[in-house]
Amino acid sequence: MSYANLAEMFFTRARELAARPRYRYRVADGWREVTWQTMAERVRAIAAGLLDLGVAPGDRVALLSNTRPEWMEIDFAILACGALTVPIYQSNLPAECGYIIANSESSVVFVENPKQRAKIEEVTRHGFELDGVRQTIGVRAVITIEGDPGAGESLAALVKRGRDALGHLLGELDARIADLRRDQLATIVYTSGTTGPPKGVLQTHGNHLATVESLLKLGIAREGDVDFFFLPLAHSFARLIEYYGIAAGTITAFARSIDNLAEDLAGSRPHLVPAVPRIYEKLYGRIQGARESGGALRRALFDWAVGVGRARSRHEQEGRPVPTLLQWQHGLAHRLVFSRIHQLLGGNIRYMTSGGAPLSREIAEFFHAVGIPILEGYGLTETTPSLTVNQPERFKLGTVGLPLDCCELRIAPDGEILARGANIALGYHRRPEATAESWDREGWFHTGDIGEFDADGFLRITDRKKDLIKTSGGKYVAPQKIENLLKLQPHVSQAVVIGDNRKYCTALITLDQEEVGRWASAQGLRFASPEEMAAHPRVREVIEAEVAAANKELASYESIKYFRILPRDLSTETGELTPSLKVKRKVMAERYRQQIEEMYAG
């Protein structure tokens, strides 16, 4: 069915699936479920509350919160009013929140808790500084989802207000939904801003619906499947999963937090797990660490099982029948080894999906070998947010899949991927120059990514155009390729390659402290702090060997000549990673300038 807007899609599916569970969330004694009907009632009440506050069609409403069920309900309520949702990452600093509210002209702000409300209070009272200029903002209302609302209103109070007003506002609400067209704006999504102030991407109802409708044809999710949700809903990839789940009729299981990921994943027993590559890298590292810590017999059994899995995977990738003996061996490998990995993930996983950054081929091949396919896709916020995806029956590991049928792609002469279609956003809010730089006169969006199509039409991403390093010797180097090789090493957590306009490539490396700690215990070593661990000569020897192992896979001009071990891992809290866990290269170059210059001294 084709929908006119996202709110219509939600309420239609809610009527069709009324008594069935829409989502579940963790409470002290287990999981609590909420039906489609109950969610629809809450969405209507929140929307009526916003109407009663004076929210008009086209108004902007900011949403500053971590991922939680209320996020979805508030989002659909805003859309039902004919207003625009403006997501803000809960990790954003006060000045960043102020910039987004000011640039989007948001008049109402939802905040998760008093901690997030304090950011809004700071910028409304004192303003914020951007590029040396102090700016002030004013908002009509600040609504707190959980905890003391301060001088503002709580979400519970807004829901009550809306329920009390529904009698005379329901007709207005229905009329607003009926008036919404696919070409109207639904949301302004601000990019993470790896290189300066974030840009607000103008996404329409039709942009989102085009992507969702294309994905529905691929049969990735079935009605009633459980999808596991922990990605930040301020990110377009997570937002796609939200809308896709509504259209497909899935049950969304909300994780409590990243800290509880393993427990909630096992407890919710999902069929689908969307994640970013960093999550798969960590999971792969833990599995490899468990292998290393086992005895010789266990390691041999694990390696045999993975070898069998890889052989079966090759047959499946090439579209060849799996021989009977190999099927039997794979069944045995599953019972002895792979079943434990499946149980860690709840035991029901049919597919995992990956987006937001490139996934290492080695990791994709490993998980396919153990019977957990990762369907990698590709897209950007500006493409709402998907352009290609590997499909259940048509996939090729090491690629980002085939183009969706809602868009067309081509490769420019310099290798840049260009996209055009129904899912491509309108441009950047109040940034005409930036819009003109990225959208050409023929409507092609210039992604900034370098890629190529293979003979079967699968897209392979080489690197970000702006991230390509050109050494002083004139050689072009793709840093993500080198970083992925380094991150596959068991004791490396993060790696950032340096080398633009330099004689050779170097790297800033952080330790996987859990794995290094396990190795250190076996060696009889103890460290009083992460700084001591990073500085220890024995640890440096381990990392030196792992860098050398990665260098064997690289051309001489790509290889890492020197490296420095940083005293702690990178994080969003310290500003070195975006909320989708991508490295902010500019921040790293500035923050660790001294260590970088040391590697090029002399």
* 343-359 tens-digit pLDDT: 999 999 999 999 988 88
Q: Coil, helix or strand for 352?
A: strand
DSSP string, 24-81: EEEETTEEEEEEHHHHHHHHHHHHHHHHHHT--TT-EEEEE--S-HHHHHHHHHHHHT
- Using CA atoms in the order 122, 197, 76, 25, what is the torsion angle rounded to 10 degrees? -70
DSSP structural state of residue 583: B
What tokens appear for 224 in the block? Answer: 């009633």
- Closest alpha carbon to 203 in 390, 425, 7, 396: 425
- Closest alpha carbon to 376 in 367, 364, 362, 394: 364
Topology, domain 6-180+229-257: Rossmann fold (3.40.50)
Contact 147, 113 (CB under 8 A): yes
**CATH class of the domain defined by 468-599:** alpha beta
- The pLDDT, as a whole number, for residue 476 is 79
506's enclosing H/E stretch is strand 505-511
**Residue owning tokens 């103008």:** 202
Contact 87, 233 (CB under 8 A): yes
% of the chain residues with pLDDT over 70:
99
471's enclosing H/E stretch is none
Contact 39, 32 (CB under 8 A): no
- The pLDDT, as a whole number, for residue 192 is 66
- The pLDDT, as a whole number, for residue 29 is 86
Cα gap 257→68, rounded to integer Å: 10
- The pLDDT, as a whole number, for residue 170 is 97
- The pLDDT, as a whole number, for residue 146 is 97
- The pLDDT, as a whole number, for residue 88 is 97
% of the chain residues with pLDDT over 90:
82
- The pLDDT, as a whole number, for residue 118 is 96
Contact 89, 234 (CB under 8 A): yes
Selected residue with higher pLDDT from 601 and 442: 442
What's the rounded mean pLDDT across residues 399-406?
97
Give yes or no for residue 244 having a pLDDT over 60. Answer: yes
What tokens appear for 362 in the block? Answer: 């080695």
Domain ranges of the chain: 6-180+229-257, 272-347+349-463, 468-599
Supply the mean pLDDT for the chain: 94
CATH fold match for the domains 6-180+229-257 and 272-347+349-463: yes
Give yes or no for residue 477 having a pLDDT over 90. Answer: no
What predicted TM-score, i.e. pTM, was given to this entire model? 0.89
Using pLDDT thresholds of 50, 70 and 90, give the confidence band for residue 449. very high
- The pLDDT, as a whole number, for residue 602 is 64
Provide the b/e sequence for 318-352 (b: ≥16 CB within 10 Å).
eeeeeeeebeebbeebbeebbeebeeebbeebebb
Cα gap 331→338, rounded to integer Å: 9
**Tens-digit pLDDT profile for residues 174-216:** 999 999 999 999 999 998 654 567 899 999 999 999 999 999 9
- The pLDDT, as a whole number, for residue 334 is 97
**Tens-digit pLDDT profile for residues 104-162:** 999 999 999 999 999 999 999 999 987 677 888 999 999 999 999 998 999 999 999 99
- Closest alpha carbon to 239 in 201, 271, 277, 288: 201
> What values do phi and psi take at 64, rounded to 5?
-110, 95
What tokens appear for 434 in the block? Answer: 């930036």
Topology, domain 272-347+349-463: Rossmann fold (3.40.50)
Cα gap 285→292, rounded to integer Å: 10
**Tens-digit pLDDT profile for residues 481-512:** 899 999 999 999 999 999 988 989 999 999 99
> What values do phi and psi take at 63, rounded to 5?
-135, 105
**Residue owning tokens 């969006």:** 445
Using pLDDT thresholds of 50, 70 and 90, give the confidence band for residue 475. confident
Contact 254, 226 (CB under 8 A): no
**420, β-bridge pairs:** 408
- Closest alpha carbon to 561 in 469, 478, 514, 498: 498
285's enclosing H/E stretch is helix 277-293
**188, β-bridge pairs:** 202
- The pLDDT, as a whole number, for residue 131 is 66
- The pLDDT, as a whole number, for residue 463 is 76
CA distances from 160 to 40, 52, 179, 272 (A): 15, 11, 26, 35
- The pLDDT, as a whole number, for residue 134 is 86
